[in-house]
Structure 1
Amino acid sequence: MFYILVVGFVAFISSSGASDLQTYFNLIDQNHDGKVFSDELFVFFNTFYEEKPEQGTLSLLKAKQIENHIVKKYNQNSTRNYLTLFDLEHRFVDLYAIQNQFPTFLFNGYEPEQVHLSYTHNIFNEMYVSFVTRERPSSNLRPIVHYCEKNCLAIGETTTYNVDNWHYWIHHIYIRGLEPGMKYNYKLGFIEPDNVTIRHLYSNEHWTFQTSSSLEKQGTEIVYIYGDMGTIMPLGFEVTKSIIEDFNKKKNERANYVVHVGDIAYAGTGGEMEVQTIWDLFMNQIAP
């Protein structure tokens, strides 16, 4: 039953218009035939790291390794020797499904995606929240974080930029006056200029954060630190997937926070301009 739901959801994504994965897939698909073969992956990987593909036997050997370790592993039809867009979409949905989630933001332009929380210099009483939406409800509406049992609200600002035809919206919110060592559930949405009327509000059982305990009450803290996952799909999915699975299995060793230490800035493909959808894919693959 679950597999049927995943396949149905992937089919819906495919029919709902060009996606970030479609844009990424088109960069690799040099023949524009909807099929990515190992030699196309090999050329793209080298271009991605701004290196020229090697020639001769070594080049053929690497292409064969790519076919064995990527194409054969990730295609949904074992008789094929190439990847399709469906294969990448299936892995993307499967990543969210680990925690019984679905990337519903793909067909609801107001729903938050790429949700990111970070400490400020005041780790006891403040939190910084940002998220992206594919559409903006109205220029009058401002983004909010709804948190705490007393229905606390923090109101932020919205911005965007136009590079490589990127057209999403980025929302930033600072939360102040939090209690040290307190765990909060939160919701994200938008509020009218009267700062009272909430027009859109979204929740997720996984949306929680915790401030750092005061110095006299601090105990053991567990931190996940990782880098060098890159943004090459679907390999980057495996890094996040292993972290989530480890998080779910070892309940006594769950991280208080995660630190990204490198390779989060890959949005270039050897050209002069960055490919903005790669940023979106990276942030969404680490979101679960």
Structure 2
Amino acid sequence: MTSFSTVIILIFSISSTFSANECPKIITQKDFDISKYFGFWYEAYRNENFFEIGYTCSNATYTKNDDGSVGVQNQAHNFFGTYKSIFGTAKVKNASEPAAFELDFPKPIPKGDYNVITSNYVDYSLVYSCHILPVLNVKSELIWILSRTKTLSPSILNELQAILHIDLNNNDELDVYELQHFFHDIEPEDPVAEPQHLVHIMKSVMKQVTNNEEVESYSISWQQFRETYAELDSLPEKGVPQQIHLSLLADGSWSTMIVIWIVKGTESEQQHPLSYVQYGNARGSYIYEQKATNRTYNVGIGGWKGTIYEAWMTNLNQCQTFYYRVGNSKVWSHENSFKTDCSTATTRTYAVMGDMGTVIPAGFLVAKQIKEDHHITPFSAVVHVGDISYAGNGAKEEIAEIWDLWGTQVEPISSILPYMTNVGNHEAYYNFTAYRNRFRMPGPESSGLDNFWFSFNTGPIHWISMSSQHYYAKDGPQYSWLVNDLAQAAKNRIQQPFIIVVTHRPLLSSLDNELDQHLPNSTLFQTVYPLFVENRVQLIITGHMHAYERIFYDNTTVVVNNTYINAPSPVIVVQGTGGALYTDKWVEPQPWWSISRLLEYGYGRLTVSTDKIQRRLHYEYLLEHDKSTYDQFSIVI
């Protein structure tokens, strides 16, 4: 959603290490002589920061401008191994502090400060910058050690680190000031940021953000983060199958299970060896084998190096456990298992949520919550209502490696359960390239469109996945498909008495952000809501707004004990609580159609029970931080 995109732009444009929301008072070099400072400097060390991910061989040249200001030229090798330059201006902020500058680069880069703590002009310079980030209200700190030569002596480095510790650090730990050493080779061997490096950066970010007591949105401690996200410190090696993901076809028979996996590395490294899924009904005994197809893509900042494999496990029998592995003759994945649906089952349970991401701030926690709850009350499937990995860094670009972090994060779930996805606005980068390639939804089998709009059956539920990111007006192909799919669903109402629609953007919401798009007079609501009422859709699940809200746009139906009995209107749930940052506020007074609402992380647990007497859908909003149930309701038909 929009507010989160704004925060991400800030993070990727100016942030490095976050900490409490007040910049320290820095004593700059008193007798600073800018004329001795002019010239060429190598960036020898820096602390971790987002905007220099993948950039190496960085250097700066400072010159005197006619107006007395300082001309700044920064250069570095980018992801593609070519030099890029940016030009700016530095001006002394106060004549009494000649080493404290305001740095100005072309928009959209915001102004920043440049404080020379100490420099001997001929060997080294220690530079510090601090800026308060809007919205988050935390400070972003940048530290550079510059050198006139490609190397810096250990004795000088030790002296500068001691200065950092004494002057800048008021905490017990020095994680904020862990400096990276950058060698100035002519051609970097691997300019693409590695996933482990991204994890390290994001962990440093989260450590500081979560320690900011004034940011009430975060109910996550650093200890909790460190313990629950440790598995990403040891990501799979290149060439090893990873990010294994199951999905269903449309018919609900469970006779086929699609499996997708990824092998990292370039095409020349892998040569696309023949790969397979092997499976059977006993551990370690694989009596069936299906050949995989492969594909790849190369978009995003620095591109993406990997191969996506897809195979179909066919001829599956109902109500059985299947064990499987994926890979090739040289390397296989570990063994996973899944259980097919039982047609005689009277109860089925599903996990639903949207807007997850990884570590900004709590996607990893909600993924862990779903995994743990599955071992207590097993799910039949997971339905993710859009905004999946948050790999984007703003309006135009995304970092493909963050998709890999997310895929690793959910693999404990997606490798044992069908993980069905709906498309959100954060999947739209490069014409949805990553989303189209990394997933396989039953669009072709349900006469829909790829992973964008489709339907599928699970037990007594007919699921309709609509794309709020594509044209949905009445004269378009998606609306025509909706009409036809609902007509077909009406014929199968005995087998699938419940119809659930999932779409990313909410039909209604009482959050203040984008409010005009989520009111009863909005285009989305006016277009599709009457169609859903006409076809007796019982439940609509959405995301996009990073909150929970239960909505019932019907002031004539009597609802007793949160139970909707043969209601003529659908219940609408906003379940964008999968872990993405929230900063919005509720409008007051609460609209009449808004029944329950909360800004907290968690997910929805949907249980459907059918017997000869009653057909009941029970929905619970489960909070992550204390595992309690905040809201629940039932739909009875």
Query: Could you say which TM-score interval applies, normalised by the shorter chain?
Result: 0.5 to 0.7
SS in 1 for 2:324: strand
Change (3 A) 1:113 1:107: closer
Offset of 1:37 from its aligned partner?
A: 3.5
Structure 1, unaligned runs of 5 or more:
1-23, 45-51, 67-77, 191-197
Change (3 A) 1:91 1:36: same
Match of 2:172 in 1: 79
Match of 1:240 in 2: 367
In structure 1, what residue type is equivalent to 2:172?
Answer: T
Inter-partner Cα distance in structure 2 for 1:31 and 1:61: 13
SS in 1 for 2:304: coil
Match of 1:158 in 2: 294
| 8 Å contact from structure 2 (residues 261, 309) kept in 1 | yes
Inter-partner Cα distance in structure 1 for 2:321 and 2:390: 33
In structure 1, what residue type is equivalent to 2:274?
Answer: R
TM-score by length of 2: 0.30
In structure 2, what residue type is equivalent to 1:275?
Answer: I
- Matches for 1:18-167 after TM superposition, within 5 Å: 28=12, 30=14, 35-37=17-19, 62-64=136-138, 79-80=172-173, 85=200, 88=203, 94-95=227-228, 106=235, 108-124=237-253, 125-135=255-265, 138-139=270-271, 141-148=273-280, 149=285, 151-164=287-300, 165-167=303-305
SS in 1 for 2:276: strand
| 8 Å contact from structure 1 (residues 186, 208) kept in 2 | yes
Offset of 1:178 from its aligned partner?
A: 1.1
| 8 Å contact from structure 1 (residues 143, 188) kept in 2 | yes
Match of 1:168 in 2: 306
- Matches for 1:259-270 after TM superposition, within 5 Å: 259-264=383-388, 266-270=390-394
Pick one of 222, 231, 234 that aligns with 2:349: 222
Inter-partner Cα distance in structure 2 for 1:92 and 1:162: 31
Inter-partner Cα distance in structure 1 for 2:226 and 2:333: 20
Match of 1:278 in 2: 402
Offset of 1:117 from its aligned partner?
A: 0.1
What CA deviation, in whole Å up to 9, does each residue of 1:61-119 have, x standing for no partner? Answer: 841599xxxxxxxxxxx73597672772898884477xxxx569735212221111011
| 8 Å contact from structure 1 (residues 119, 128) kept in 2 | yes
Could you say what the CA RMSD is over the residues aligned between the two structures, in angstroms? Answer: 3.9
Inter-partner Cα distance in structure 2 for 1:79 and 1:93: 17
Match of 2:339 in 1: 210
Structure 2, unaligned runs of 5 or more:
1-7, 22-49, 51-108, 111-131, 141-170, 179-199, 205-222, 413-637
Paired residue total = 219
What CA deviation, in whole Å up to 9, does each residue of 1:117-163 have, x standing for no partner? Answer: 01112433100000111136643522211110452111111111111
SS in 2 for 1:259: strand
Change (3 A) 1:138 1:60: closer
Offset of 1:257 from its aligned partner?
A: 1.7
Match of 1:3 in 2: none
In structure 2, what residue type is equivalent to 1:119?
Answer: L
Offset of 1:265 from its aligned partner?
A: 5.7
Inter-partner Cα distance in structure 1 for 2:345 and 2:139: 48
In structure 2, what residue type is equivalent to 1:36?
Answer: F
Inter-partner Cα distance in structure 2 for 1:272 and 1:38: 30
Change (3 A) 1:166 1:64: closer
SS in 1 for 2:330: strand
Pick one of 304, 322, 325 that aligns with 1:187: 325
Match of 2:330 in 1: 199
Identity over aligned pairs, percent = 27
Inter-partner Cα distance in structure 1 for 2:135 and 2:299: 37
SS in 2 for 1:201: coil
Change (3 A) 1:92 1:104: same
SS in 2 for 1:146: strand
| 8 Å contact from structure 2 (residues 351, 382) kept in 1 | yes
Inter-partner Cα distance in structure 2 for 1:119 and 1:103: 27
Change (3 A) 1:96 1:231: closer
TM-score by length of 1: 0.62
The structure that is strand-richer by fraction is: 2
Query: Which stretch of the first structure deviates more once superposed, 80-89 or 265-274?
Result: 80-89
In structure 1, what residue type is equivalent to 2:372?
Answer: E
| 8 Å contact from structure 2 (residues 258, 312) kept in 1 | yes
Change (3 A) 1:272 1:138: closer
SS in 1 for 2:318: coil
| 8 Å contact from structure 2 (residues 239, 270) kept in 1 | no
In structure 1, what residue type is equivalent to 2:331?
Answer: H
In structure 2, what residue type is equivalent to 1:169?
Answer: T
